[in-house]
Amino acid sequence: MYTSQHSPPRASVDTRVNSRPEHVDFSALLDPSLLQAARYIYRTYYEVHPDQVQRPLGVALDRFTHRGKLIFAGKPILLPQECFVPVNQIETDLY
């Protein structure tokens, strides 16, 4: 075998899943324009559906197009270009 065919040594990777949920401060991670888009989607939904009782968990947003959908149940599964804005983050400055 030639020296050019040797593969470099592999670093060990910890593949264990952390079972303890971590608190993440989303306010430090969100682009203000994403937060504004999430608030717009949230507000529009409640203007169109004023009698809706179910409260959403948040908004899933595309980082590039700012298109999004309200998430009502379960943990959202996001595409690589999407982010999740929790409803408590959206409501902080609305009222």
The answer to whether residue 14 sits within a structural domain is: no
The kind and range of the H/E element at 84 are: strand 82-86
The answer to whether residue 65 sits within a structural domain is: yes
Total domains, the chain? 1
Contact status, residue 26 vs residue 86, Cβ threshold 8 Å: yes
Question: Distance of CA 83 to CAs 4, 20, 26, 37, 45, Å?
Answer: 42, 21, 10, 12, 19
> What whole-number distance in Å separates Cα of residue 91 and Cα of residue 70?
14
Instruction: For 47-69, write each residue's pLDDT tens digit.
Output: 999 888 888 999 999 999 999 99
Q: Which two tokens stand for residue 11?
A: 């670093």
Instruction: For 7-63, write each residue's pLDDT tens digit.
Output: 555 555 555 555 444 545 555 567 899 999 999 999 999 899 988 888 899 999 999
The answer to whether residue 2 sits within a structural domain is: no
The answer to whether residue 12 sits within a structural domain is: no
Find the domain containing 79 and state its range.
27-95
The answer to whether residue 13 sits within a structural domain is: no
The answer to whether residue 48 sits within a structural domain is: yes
